[in-house]
Amino acid sequence: MSMPSEALPLPKRSSAASVSPPDVTAATTEPAWIKWSLIGVALTFLTLFLFIPLAIVFIEAFKKGWGVYLAAITDPDALSAIKLTLIAAGISVPMNLVFGIAAAWCIAKFEFRGKNLLLTLIDLPFSVSPVISGLIFVLVFGLQGWFGEWLRDHDLKVIFAVPGIVLATVFITFPFVARELIPLMQAQGTEQEEAARVLGANGWQLFRRITLPNVKWALLYGVILCNARAMGEFGAVSVVSGHIRGQTNTMPLHIEILYNEYQFAASFAVASLLAGLALVTLVLKYVVEQRVKAQKRAVEGQEET
């Protein structure tokens, strides 16, 4: 059954398809007309629900020409929205990066009680509606909330101000890095780190020289996803922001305001920036995914030999 792949210098798991002779047998494939109609159905569905919506963002953005486009994205309100979005992502991504590494380290490298519960709790923000994610911070820091009076007495603002926007963004993007790291680090096991430990490496050397190189692509992938979500978050930020133009407006909120004011070209112009970011994210994701797949194959190959 199995090929003598152990004899090869580079252990590389070959899939069944490349080992067996080309399977052109009619018994395990569909007739051409079924194949092409299925492809047709799939592409029609994707065109209606994915490709055209993406295309129309750029078409509407440039409908009135470059002048209107540039004016829309260099408008002072738009620039301050871009700045606030960068600030929110710039704070929340590093925070969740540190958390993701810490969580992945204790979950993937150690055995302890309550691990499954911890994993489920880390996933919680994924299943909470963005609107509710905003609401809970209003309940804690709003004027009627737990710390409302204290914050008012000390002249601090969280809700309808930048800290609230950052907090909501941190909550929304909480699991991204951890979820990417944990499965990969669990698959990689602890042998390499243990060997380094025996050879006298301290904790920091261990992490920097063994663990980090092993997970760098998954880490980058998690950061990319986290960033995309942080910059595009709408519902949660909408609840806590108060929509103060030029002060607490992020890019998605600015899009909404322009759209409601019937400035469609300007609205789509700002939207096209975020759509561009989404496309860059998808390209990076594709590249990183290839690397992670190659790495996972390498890990599995090591386990087999």
Question: According to CB under 8 A, which residues from 201 to 260 bind another protein?
Answer: 202-203, 206-207, 225, 228, 231-235, 238-239, 251-253, 255-256, 259
Return the number of the residue (90 or 203) whose C-beta is nearest another protein.
203
- Rg, C-alpha atoms of the chain: 25
> Can residue 281 be called a binding residue for another protein (CB under 8 A)?
yes
Binding flag, residue 82, another protein (CB under 8 A): no
Are 166 and 91 within 8 A, CB to CB? yes
Q: Measure the CA–CA gap between 171 and 132, rounded to whole angstroms.
A: 11
Mask of contacts with another protein, 261-280, x by CB under 8 A? ---x--xx--x--xx-xxx-
Contact stretch for another protein (CB under 8 A) within 5-13, 67-75, 126-134, 213-221: 126-134
CA dihedral over 118, 129, 247, 269, signed as positive or negative: positive
- Of residues 7 and 199, the one with the C-beta less far from another protein: 199
Query: What is the separation, in whole angstroms, between the first and last Cα of the chain?
Result: 16
Contact 291, 217 (CB under 8 A): yes
Residue 62 touching another protein (CB under 8 A): no
Stretch that binds another protein, among 5-13, 37-45, 70-78, 181-189 (CB under 8 A): 37-45
Residue 305 CA to residue 302 CA, distance in Å, equals 5
Residue of the chain from 8, 50, 79, 156 that contacts another protein (CB under 8 A) = 50
Burial code (b: 16+ CB inside 10 Å, e: under 16) for 72-94 equals bbebebbebbbebbeebbebbbe
- Comparing CB distances to another protein, the nearer of 223 and 225 is 225
Residues 102-121 that bind another protein (CB under 8 A): 102-103, 105-106, 109-113, 118, 120-121
